[in-house]
């Protein structure tokens, strides 16, 4: 039996299909809901920044000494910005916009010329013990123009995108057994909906990213040998999204130490920079796969990251500015071959 469609009908069908494909290719792609901050590259196409966490103690516990060395290394590297992994104000965040802790723990401490660059900050669990909206308020930026703090957001440098994730609401214990602490959950409730929105927006942002390097920054650990250990909620909810979207680094604070973990089960490098002030916990527990622990230092310090389109280098420093650990990697720039539909 012959086809009931003639040549003319087939041509019409093919034309309609081609039109449909063309329309789909022209349709606007869904954009991530996360706020994006654009940060320009250096003239040579590179970007460099420092990472510090768990620092806001009015200069005490060697915070001022760490800040001094950050200034010196920042000048040497000619950094573009600073990343904070949270716990920006101890012990219980800010009481209000007018809390002097902001000046005493931030503006009066990080005074080196090289540190007068944007600071991109996430919130830690100690920040949630105070007035969260105070830390998020644009009024702080009017007091100190460096301060750029949001719950979750993206910093786009073209060759690298940094995805900042608000991890505190993920942790069950803060809700189920807060141990006498009061947390400011305004803007988070209902919690399940908030977490799902963060994960959805992050996944969308990572999937849409055309940057050659993807870095995720959060306060809480995914993997750690120090006193807080692995955060099970992030292992189950966040880590699969990172692995599915070719994330290169997960950078966190929370544990007051410096560490670099690289496992055979994951392509992600897990980096802790939580040595901005109080440290020396005297705790280490990483026995099942000792080869995965590339570096651990139970003391104060910070780290630097330098990125070009095809190369990345990280360095950890102690409170005296001594280099403790280096790690470098490279990859082919796929953006040149990434042809959109």
Pairing between strand 35-38 and 153-156? Answer: parallel
At residue 218 the predicted structure's pLDDT band, cuts being 50, 70 and 90, is: very high
* Whether pLDDT at 186 is above 50: yes
Residues 286-295 have a mean pLDDT of 95
Residue 54 known to bind ligand: yes
293-318: burial string, b at 16+ Cβ within 10 Å, e else: bebbbbebbbbbbbbbbeebebbbbb
Residue 6: the pLDDT is: 57
Residues 26-51 have a mean pLDDT of 82
Residues 142-159 have a mean pLDDT of 98
Residues 15-42 have a mean pLDDT of 64
Q: What phi, psi does 70 have (nearest 5°)?
A: -60, -40
Residue 25: the pLDDT is: 41
Residue 260 known to bind ligand: no
Query: In whole angstroms, what is the distance from residue 169 CA to residue 314 CA?
Result: 29
The Cβ of residue 136 has, within 10 Å, a number of other Cβ atoms equal to: 17
* Whether pLDDT at 170 is above 50: yes
- CA proximity to 294, closest of 319, 265, 317, 324: 324
Listed range (60-64, 263-267, 318-322) with the worst mean pLDDT: 263-267
Query: In whole angstroms, what is the distance from residue 154 CA to residue 165 CA?
Result: 9
- Structure-model confidence comparison of residues 64 and 7, the more confident one: 64
Domain-located, residue 105: yes
Domain-located, residue 119: yes
At residue 173 the predicted structure's pLDDT band, cuts being 50, 70 and 90, is: very high
Do 307 and 160 meet the contact criterion of CB atoms below 8 Å apart? yes
Residue numbers annotated as active site: 228
* Whether pLDDT at 295 is above 70: yes
Residues 137-165 have a mean pLDDT of 97
Residue 10: the pLDDT is: 52
Residue 30: the pLDDT is: 43
Domain-located, residue 11: no
Cα–Cα distances in Å, from 290 out to 79, 121, 149, 261, 262?
A: 33, 32, 36, 10, 10
Q: pLDDT, tens digit, for every residue of 40-89?
A: 999 999 999 999 999 999 999 999 999 999 999 999 999 999 999 999 99
Total domains in the fold of the chain? 1
Domain-located, residue 336: no
Q: pLDDT, tens digit, for every residue of 196-212?
A: 999 999 999 999 999 99
Domain-located, residue 4: no
Using a pLDDT cut of 70, give the percent of the chain over it.
88
Q: pLDDT, tens digit, for every residue of 102-150?
A: 999 999 999 999 999 999 999 999 999 999 999 999 999 999 999 999 9
Domain-located, residue 49: yes
Residue 166: the pLDDT is: 98
**Residue 73, Cβ density class (10 Å: 0-12 exposed, 13-18 middle, ≥19 buried):** buried
The Cβ of residue 11 has, within 10 Å, a number of other Cβ atoms equal to: 11
Query: In whole angstroms, what is the distance from residue 45 CA to residue 40 CA?
Result: 9
> Which residue range is the domain that position 323 belongs to?
36-331
Residue 333: the pLDDT is: 73
- Structure-model confidence comparison of residues 26 and 322, the more confident one: 322
* Whether pLDDT at 18 is above 70: no
Using a pLDDT cut of 90, give the percent of the chain over it.
87
Residue 83: the pLDDT is: 99
- For position 82, which CATH number holds? 3.60.21.10
Do 218 and 250 meet the contact criterion of CB atoms below 8 Å apart? yes
Average pLDDT along the chain = 92
* Whether pLDDT at 14 is above 70: no
Residue 33: the pLDDT is: 84
Domain-located, residue 19: no
Do 69 and 317 meet the contact criterion of CB atoms below 8 Å apart? yes
Domain-located, residue 123: yes
Q: 3-state secondary structure string, the chain?
A: CCCCCCHHHHHHHHHHHHHHHHHHHHCCCCCCCCEEEECCCCCCCCEEEEEECCCCCCCCCCHHHHHHHHHHHHHHHCCCEEEECCCCCCCCCCCCCCCCHHHHHHHCCCCCHHHCCCEEECCCCCHHHCCHHHHHCHHHHHHCCCEEECCCEEEECCCEEEEEECCHHHCCHHHHCCCCCCCCCCCCCCHHHHHHHHHHHHHHHHHHCCCCEEEEEECCCCCCCCCCCCCHHHHHHCHHHHHHCCCCEEEECCCCCEEEEECCCCCCEEEEECCCCCCCCCCCCCCCCHHHEEEEECCCEEEEEEECCCEEEEEEEECCCCEEEEEEEECCCCHHHCCCC
């Amino acid at each position: 039996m012959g086809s009931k469609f003639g040549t003319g009908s087939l041509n019409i069908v093919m034309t309609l299909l081609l039109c449909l494909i063309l329309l789909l290719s022209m349709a606007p792609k869904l954009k991530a809901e996360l706020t994006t901050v654009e940060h320009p590259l250096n003239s040579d196409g590179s970007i460099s920044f420092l990472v510090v966490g768990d620092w806001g103690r009015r200069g005490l516990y060697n915070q001022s000494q760490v800040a001094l060395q950050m200034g010196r290394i920042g000048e040497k590297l000619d950094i573009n910005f600073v990343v904070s992994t949270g716990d920006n104000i101890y012990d219980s965040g800010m009481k209000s916009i007018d809390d002097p802790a902001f000046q005493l723990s931030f503006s009066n401490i990080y005074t080196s010329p090289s540190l007068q660059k944007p600071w991109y900050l996430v919130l830690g669990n100690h920040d949630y013990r105070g007035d969260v909206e105070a830390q998020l308020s644009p009024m702080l930026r009017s007091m100190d123009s460096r301060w750029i703090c949001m719950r979750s957001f993206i910093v786009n440098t073209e060759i690298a995108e940094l995805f900042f994730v608000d991890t505190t609401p993920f942790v069950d214990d803060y809700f189920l057994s807060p141990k006498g602490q009061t947390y400011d959950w305004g803007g988070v409730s209902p919690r399940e909906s908030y977490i799902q929105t963060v994960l959805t927006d992050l996944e969308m942002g990572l999937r849409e990213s055309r940057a050659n390097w993807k870095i995720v920054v959060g306060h809480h650990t995914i993997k750690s040998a120090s006193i807080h250990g692995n955060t099970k909620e992030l292992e189950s909810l966040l880590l699969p999204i990172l692995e599915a979207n070719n994330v290169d680094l997960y950078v966190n604070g929370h544990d007051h130490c410096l560490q670099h973990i690289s496992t055979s089960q994951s392509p992600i490098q897990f980096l802790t920079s939580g040595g901005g002030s109080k440290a020396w916990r005297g705790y280490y527990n990483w026995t099942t796969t000792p080869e995965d622990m590339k570096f651990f230092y139970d003391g104060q310090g910070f780290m630097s990251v330098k990125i070009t389109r095809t190369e990345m280098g990280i360095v950890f420093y102690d409170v005296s500015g001594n280099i403790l650990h280096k790690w470098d990697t490279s990859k082919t720039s796929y953006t040149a071959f990434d042809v959109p539909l």
